[in-house]
Structure 1
Amino acid sequence: MREHYFLTMLQSLSCDSIDKYTQTMICLETTV
């Protein structure tokens, strides 16, 4: 839907803010 906005939101978040598992799942969701 709005991948660009979603990616920007992810970039604004620090890696420590989200769990490794959640971050990985999000990356997979965006990539696929």
Structure 2
Amino acid sequence: MATVHDAVHHIQDEITEINDQENKDSNNISSNTK
């Protein structure tokens, strides 16, 4: 079960990284349009 938990945790980390990158991109876009 530890391997399943590790895999889920790894996926959550990747999702967090993707969300952080999208937030940076949208921040750059909104600051560029102002």
The structure that is helix-richer by fraction is 2
Bigger relative contact order, structure 1 or 2 (CA pairs below 8 A, ≥6 apart): 1
In the superposition, the TM-score normalised over structure 2's length comes to: 0.41
